[in-house]
């Protein structure tokens, strides 16, 4: 039930827990804003500052109950579900050192259903894998009046550009359906070494996800992988480099990076699949990040049906590198 300030009772409850106050077991009823969300993600969203390991422990032990019964961490909530939430505390260090809100993220578009932001490079979209604070956590701190904020899709940490965040569960569900069905146009700009010659080239190479012996996530082209489709268009070419636009027809992990590396055109600055010697040389020339930017999004609004199209210009550090190429290397049309 929302309070007079727009913050629901569950959020007030967990804020009190973080302040170290003893609170009895609470029961909450799920409404439209949380329906369809996994129980583990729901608890981590409202229990800000509580370690993930503790959230999973109380789920495994059965201390969290839905409609009186135990549930798996993958259980998806439904409208009307009654959740039993046990009291939890966070460590003193977490209580006294909340994550900093950071610089406000650039908002390209906002309405009652969704946000579109221009994500800077170097910022993860969410916490995890050694990163405690990402875009979604920052937005939730900076916009406490919003009852729900969930990522509609993801961008790699070093990728900049357009990112959609849903403000309603109904909008999130439709956005996910659109992405699964290929009904959203997503185009990226990237710089690759060498001379890309085809004006338009379709790349259809299945991608397989695996873990390295060190536990890092990687992707490679493999017949055992999932079908993947990228459309690469030449934008500009110099003596040593080519600027290309890549349209994603599927949304696999690291798709652009792996498809282009597989063809012999690794992304400039890519620290996983790139040319590491070239990357080091490019750093000396001023390119200190991966050159990959989510430049264009076009999709049907999930609730109104209106066609929305957004474009984000290259960030200054990438545009400046292009400007230096233009100044010292003639364009190559041959």
- CATH code for position 307: 3.30.2350.10
> Is there a domain that residue 153 lies in?
no
Tell me which DSSP letter residue 4 carries.
T
> Is there a domain that residue 177 lies in?
yes
Report the 10 Å Cβ neighbour count for 142.
Answer: 14
Full residue range of the structural domain in which residue 197 is found: 169-328
- Range name among 32-36, 56-60, 271-275 with the lowest pLDDT average: 32-36
Q: What is the mean pLDDT of residues 12-22?
A: 45
Same domain, 183 and 301: yes
For 166-190, what is each residue's pLDDT tens digit? 999 899 999 999 999 989 999 999 9
> Is there a domain that residue 134 lies in?
no
Catalytic residues: 156
Instruction: Report the CATH number at residue 82.
Output: 3.10.290.10
Angle (CA) 15-50-168 rounded to 5° is 70
Of the three residues 96, 119, 134, the one that is the final residue of a domain is: 96
Residues near 217 by beta carbon (within 8 Å), at least 6 away in sequence:
209, 210, 211, 253
For 242-285, what is each residue's pLDDT tens digit? 999 999 999 999 999 999 999 999 999 999 999 999 999 999 99
Q: What is the mean pLDDT of residues 30-52?
A: 79
> Is there a domain that residue 90 lies in?
yes
> Is there a domain that residue 155 lies in?
no
How many independent structural domains does the chain possess?
A: 2
């Amino acid at each position: 039930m929302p309070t007079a300030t727009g913050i629901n009772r569950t959020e007030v409850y967990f804020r009190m827990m973080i302040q170290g106050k003893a609170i009895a077991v609470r029961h909450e009823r799920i409404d439209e804003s949380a329906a369809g969300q996994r129980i583990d993600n729901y608890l981590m969203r409202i229990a800000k500052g509580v370690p993930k390991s503790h959230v999973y422990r109380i789920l495994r032990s059965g201390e969290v109950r839905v409609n009186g019964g135990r549930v798996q961490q993958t259980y998806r909530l439904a409208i009307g579900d009654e959740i039993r939430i046990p009291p939890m505390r966070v460590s003193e260090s977490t209580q006294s050192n909340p994550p900093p809100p950071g610089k406000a993220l650039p908002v390209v578009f906002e309405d009652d259903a969704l946000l579109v932001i221009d994500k800077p490079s170097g910022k993860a979209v969410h916490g995890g894998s050694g990163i405690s604070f990402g875009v979604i956590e920052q937005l939730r701190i900076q916009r406490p009046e919003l009852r729900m904020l969930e990522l509609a899709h993801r961008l790699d940490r070093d990728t900049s550009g357009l990112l959609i965040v849903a403000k309603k569960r109904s909008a999130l569900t439709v956005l996910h359906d659109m992405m699964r069905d290929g009904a959203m146009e997503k185009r990226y700009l990237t710089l690759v070494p060498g001379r890309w010659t085809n004006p338009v080239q379709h790349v259809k190479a299945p991608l397989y996800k695996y873990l390295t012996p060190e536990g890092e996530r990687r992707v490679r082209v493999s017949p055992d992988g999932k079908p993947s489709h990228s459309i690469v268009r030449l934008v500009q070419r110099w003596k040593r480099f080519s600027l290309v636009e890549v349209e994603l027809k599927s949304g696999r992990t690291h798709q652009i990076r792996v498809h282009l590396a597989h063809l012999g055109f690794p992304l400039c600055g890519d620290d996983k699949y790139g040319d590491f010697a070239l990357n080091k040389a490019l750093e000396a020339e001023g390119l200190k990040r991966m050159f990959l930017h989510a430049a264009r999004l076009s999709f049907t609004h999930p609730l109104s049906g209106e066609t929305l199209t957004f474009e984000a210009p290259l960030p200054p550090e990438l545009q400046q590198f292009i400007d230096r190429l233009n100044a010292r290397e003639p364009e190559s049309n041959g």
